[in-house]
Structure 1
Amino acid sequence: MPNIFRILKEDWRSNRGAGLVSQLFLINYRLGRIALQKKEKYGTPILLGYLPLLLNARFLSLFLGCSIPFSTKLGRRIRFQHGLQGIFISGLASVGDDCLILHQVTIGSNIGSRSGRPAAPRIGNRIFIGVGAKIIGDLDVGDDAMIGAQALVIRSVPSGARCHAPSAEIRMGLEA
């Protein structure tokens, strides 16, 4: 496992322009994620350290208008260029390294997945996600892809692809 202090330092540097509250949210997220993993492994003893982080996350989420649960897998050096305002990332989702996510983005799960169970997107590395983009369902976004502003992505996106609103899947040539 990479050194947590190195990851926190990378998050701090990557999100310098996003504001202090966003940086504090990411620190709380990283510590909460570790505490969640330890809680699942060790049970009740770690709960005393987990609860304050959870309460702090809820407060910061209300203040920022965002939702990123500790169960979400965020990669290293993820950057929230305009802060965390309006960002929702499902607890089932994963986001790779070096991604840039702008405000009002939803990376969500849906109940109508192929398996019949809730499923969420798996976002690759070095992805740009524009303002107001919605990425919903059991899908993959390949490395180095760009999701434009207001794009609605409901099918997998190949590596290096460019998605644009209003009908991203048609412009990419991914019709059913």
Structure 2
Amino acid sequence: MSLKSDFIKYKKYSGNKSSLILLCTQQGLWALIVYRISNKIYKSSLLKPFKIILLGFAVINQKWIEIITGISIPYAVDIGERFYIGHFGNIIINSKVKIGDNCNISQGVTIGISGRGEKRGVPTIGNNVYIGVNAVIVGPIIIGDNCVIAANSLVTKSIEDNAVIVGVPGEIINYNSSKDYI
């Protein structure tokens, strides 16, 4: 299960603190636990009436987490393994977004819908992507593997693998990848 891989990453980043300490202190982990359980129900093959009831409870739990942590991760989002939310609050992820494996996200990040007509859509985020504080990634774009989206950047165009993006609008400044960030 992806939740186990999330815990392993949180333990690594915390200097190998116990799971109990992580559960008591990491709001991002709280949000991930609720998301992973809710997403499992969403993807399950349970009979529809049971699934609807369980998803109703999932939405209530998601809203509770949203209120206490400021982190909104709908159960329909597709997030890979080893996801890490570095800091408390103000994280909004659209329900149709896809995020790859081994990604890190900081506080104040929005990953959402933008555009009109045929140009309306949500991003797809690759593997090993680091998203800095207050970054905004919107529209039907693809963020390649091993990218860094710097703090306060606005990304509205697709980005190739290993790119480092800075600014508003986001511009590629080099191809040093995310290896030192994740």
Shorter-chain TM-score bucket reads 0.7 to 0.9
Kindly indicate whether residue 24 of structure 2 is the aligned counterpart of residue 29 of structure 1. Answer: no
Matched, 1:72 2:73: no
**C-alpha separation in 2, matches of 1:149 and 1:20:** 21
Supply the AA of the counterpart residue of 1:169: E
What SS does structure 1 have at the residue aligned with 2:4? helix
**For the residues of structure 1 that align with 2:116 and 2:103, how far apart are their CA atoms?**
27
Q: Which moved more, 1:58-67 or 1:132-141?
A: 58-67
In the comparison of the two structures, how many residue pairs are matched? Answer: 163
Please give the root-mean-square deviation of Cα atoms over the aligned residues, in Å.
2.1
Matches within 5 A, 1:116-135: 118-135=120-137
Q: CA distance change for structure 1 residues 38 and 151 in 2, over 3 Å: closer, same or farther?
A: same
SS of the residue 1:63 aligns to: helix
- What corresponds to 1:13 in structure 2? 8
Gaps of 5+ in 2: 15-21, 175-182
Using the alignment, how far apart are the partners of 2:42 and 2:60 within structure 1?
13
Q: Distance in 1 between matches of 2:115 and 2:168?
A: 23
TM-score (norm 1): 0.83
Q: 1:159 aligns with which of 146, 158, 161?
A: 161
Q: CA deviation at 1:10?
A: 1.5
Q: Distance in 2 between matches of 1:21 and 1:168?
A: 29
Distance 1:109 1:166 in 2: 17
1:63 equivalent to 2:68? Answer yes
Aligned counterpart, 2:93: 89
- Give CA-to-partner distance per residue, 1:125-145, whole Å, 9 cap, x none: 000111000001000000011
- Take 2:115 and 2:133, find their aligned partners in 1: how far apart are those partners? 25
TM-score by length of 2: 0.81
* Structure 1: runs of 5 or more not aligned: none
Residue in structure 1 matched with residue 114 of structure 2 by the alignment: 110
1:149–1:21 distance in 2 versus 1, CA, 3 Å: closer
* 1:54 counterpart letter in structure 2: V
Percent sequence identity over aligned pairs: 28
Kindly report structure 1 stretches of 4+ aligned residues shifted beyond 4 Å.
none
Q: What's the counterpart of residue 55 of structure 2?
A: 50
Answer yes or no: is the 8 Å Cα contact 1:155–1:169 preserved in 2: no
AA aligned to 2:91 is I
CA offset at residue 52 of structure 1?
A: 1.9
SS, match of residue 15 in structure 1: helix
- Distance, in Å, in 2 between the alignment partners of 1:30 and 1:169 is 33
Shift of 1:46: 2.4
The structure 2 residue matched to 1:101, chosen from 97, 101, 105, is 105
Q: Is the 8 A contact 2:163 2:173 kept in 1?
A: no
Give, in angstroms, the shift of residue 171 of structure 1.
5.4
How far apart in 1 are the matches of 2:172 and 2:8? 37
Give the conservation status (yes or no) of the 8 Å contact 1:154–1:169. Answer: no
Aligned partner letter, 2:112: G
